Amino acid sequence: MSYDLMVFEPAAAPASKAEFLTWYEQQTEWTEDHGYDDLAVTTPKLRQWYEAMAADFPPMNGPDTPEDLDDPKVSDYSVGQSVIYVAFAWSQAEAAYKAVRAAAEAAGVGFFDASGTDAEIWLPGQVAPAVKPNFWRRLLGLS
């Protein structure tokens, strides 16, 4: 099991949460006609986000794959036309959440916490919700 997050082009996603979740399910059926480790298929903003992320969380597939695949920071990226979905090791959950959110804000793309209990969706221009101090302890089963 992995800790999964997704970033997306805001203009491509529906506005309501219910419609967004349906759209998310469609996106993660992986029916687009291309390989899912090819950055050429996605948007410039999503490529910018990927470049910011890959330095600290290298991909396990594709041309940027590191030699040490046992590194817990190695992550599984799936690149779509309007989304990039990433599966992280649970040991990296807190750091991954922070890095993905910060890179999403910098690149101007949306953020979806696919593994979160409240299915958090963030769009550029929104004020980020405060993360409660015990959130990560509960999420990781430490309290």
As a whole number, the mean pLDDT across the chain is: 88
d(C-alpha 66, C-alpha 74), whole Å: 8
For residue 60, give both structure tokens. Answer: 């396990």
pLDDT, residue 101, reads 94
**pTM for this model (two decimals):** 0.86
pLDDT tens digits, residue range 66-102? 888 889 999 999 999 999 999 999 999 999 999 999 9
pLDDT band at residue 11 using 50, 70 and 90 as cut-offs: very high
Q: Decide: 112 and 123 in contact? Cβ < 8 Å.
A: no
Write the DSSP assignment of 94-143 as a string of letters: HHHHHHHHHHHHHHT-EEE-TTSTT--EE-TTSPPPPPPTTHHHHHTT--
